[in-house]
Chains A and B, each alone.
Chain A
Amino acid sequence: MGWVIKLENVTVKDRDKTIIENITLEVERGEWVGVIGPNGAGKTTLLKVIAGRIIPDEGRVEVRGSIGYVPQLKKIDEFIPLRVYDVVLMGRYGRLGFLKRPGKEDKRKVLEVLERMEMEGYAAEPLGLLSGGERQKVFIARALVSEPEILLLDEPTTGLDVQAQREITGLIRKIHEDGVTVVMVTHDLNPVSPYLTRVVYMKKKIFACGEPSRVLSPEVLSKLYNAPVDVFERNGHICVIVEDAHYE
């Protein structure tokens, strides 16, 4: 299959503080990689390095293919003068480049993605009035209209209710099945563990990396979170319970 993301000895510092250190990682085409770790582990920084938003202080980053990025869900102004359609259309801007205005093809693509996500009825809705789960779907749609080969997601299910978490997970699963390589930062592996091809555990450095069933062990996770961790299997799902852990 060949790699689409390759990081070699990547280190990122913020003045004297090391954010991520000596990360070496290859992601193969078609993989779905979950990145987990405690607060301040450098997970978001890792995604931003891959996306080209942060230039590492040391090491090399190579990416083969276009990137779609879904940032962490932030609180937004309810009065924001943007409709769902406008936000999703922004996903086309990078392809358009400077000075060019969106054309028929861009508008068609936006409506097509919204339809595929069963959100066509939301096109004219103001962004600020949507629920957290709906907004997250809008941001995923925005990433998808750029027709990415690699999708980077930063904690896409954080702060959402169980129903919305399921919907988002199902959506990412469909996107992955369509052949998109997915790298996803999460602190809750339970909903996605059956679908992940690999899990990366990090705490500034990569702690462990491999297939979920092999790497998900109470010993590795307890060390990662500095707390007792229980791992068990139920209906094919690997469940992780961190006791008294400090979640993000």
Chain B
Amino acid sequence: MSSILAYEFMKRAFIASVLVGGICSLIGVFVILRGLSFMGAGIAHASFAGATLGMLLNLPPFPFSLVFALLGALFVGWAEKRGELRSDIPVGIVFSSTMALAILFAGLMRRYDPRILGYLFGSVLSVSWSDVIFLLVTGFLVIAFISLFYKEIVFAIFDREYADISRMRPDLFLHLLLIAIALVIAGSLKTVGVILVFAEIVTPAAAAYELTHSMKALILLSVTFGILSSVLGLLISLFFDIPSGASIVLVVTFIFFLSLIFSPKRRRLKEV
């Protein structure tokens, strides 16, 4: 382990993996509780379209991917609040239209940009210190938002109507939650890629959901699974020379199946 960490790029890769695993699995708890699992995929694709636009314009892809992720999240929130569309419809529209945009932007490039593949599948070994710093800032903001407004967020998620009657501004907090999700996805994209960031958000939380009836234990377990799978996945990828994103997601999927098998909730339901 110490010999691996002797390389600067490996240090960055480990720090980035742990940060992505932790932040994604933390926000993932609220994503699954709010029933937004599919939305993560929609925002990731929007973010990818932004990144390809940045590459097309020969500008840094990250600010574009962040703006596109935020616009995608806010569109879904707006459409859902207006109540004219079920939330899966705007997510589906964001998902497909932004993917079309990404393909269009990539097609308009004079030369193929290899970073496209990096954004699609993730390239943890190419993460820079500025990417790590952005992940740290994102992590700090997300943790601060959840710690400060934990009661407001949980109230809005579980009973939007009652929270509204109690003057707790549920729509504001649900929109802030969408912004936090977009921030996490845009920040994690380079490390794990469009396709796998969705799994990093949903799977640890889904595994933890099987194991507890307590919100606090759910958060703790989800973050533990997220970080554990990132470290284990990265180590496995190094030892067996396989893609890191895939190995991280397969480890967390394995944890999910273990949770499913040993779920006390399902056992209790059978007994009832």
Contacts and interface: CB of A to CB of B under 8 A. Distances in A.
Interface in B193-224: 209-210, 212-215, 217-218
A210 interface: no
Given A69-B162, A90-B162, A93-B168, A81 B214 contact: yes
Interface stretch (A95-103, A111-119, A169-177): A95-103
Contact of A81 (B152, B159, B218, B268): B218
A96 B151 CA distance: 10
Contacts of B265: 78-79
Interface residues of A, number: 27
Contacts of A83: 213-214
B215 A129 contact: no
B1 interface: no
Nearest to A94: B166
B215 to A, nearest CB: 5
B6 interface: no
Consensus secondary structure, chain B interface: helix
Contact of A52 (B149, B163, B165, B215): B165
Q: How large is the interface on B (under 10, 10 to 19, 20 to 34, 35 or more residues)?
A: 20 to 34
Contacts of B165: 51-53, 67, 69, 94
Nearest to A101: B151
Contacts of B155: 90, 93
A186 interface: no
Interface in A87-145: 87, 90, 93-94, 96, 98-99, 101-102, 126, 128-129, 142
Nearest to A47: B165
Residue of B149, B155, B165 ringed by the most chain A CB atoms within 10 A: B165
A126 B214 CA distance: 8
A88 to B, nearest CB: 12
A185 B218 CA distance: 37
A129 B162 contact: no
A69 B209 CA distance: 29
Contact of B167 (A82, A94, A142): A94
A191 interface: no
A129 B166 contact: no
A81 B213 contact: yes
A93 B166 contact: yes
A99 B269 CA distance: 36
A101 B212 CA distance: 23
Interface of A: 51-53, 67, 69, 71, 78-83, 86-87, 90, 93-94, 96, 98-99, 101-102, 126, 128-129, 142, 146
Q: For the complex of A and B, list the 8 residue pairs with the smallest distance between their C-beta atoms, beginning with the closest.
A: A94-B166, A126-B213, A51-B165, A81-B218, A69-B165, A81-B215, A79-B265, A53-B165
Given A52-B165, A81-B214, A94-B167, 18 more contacts: A71-B159, A71-B162, A78-B265, A79-B265, A80-B213, A81-B212, A81-B213, A81-B215, A81-B217, A82-B158, A82-B215, A93-B155, A93-B166, A93-B168, A94-B165, A98-B152, A126-B213, A129-B268
17 contacts: A53-B164, A67-B165, A69-B162, A69-B165, A78-B265, A78-B269, A79-B209, A79-B213, A81-B213, A81-B214, A81-B215, A90-B162, A93-B151, A93-B155, A94-B166, A96-B151, A101-B151
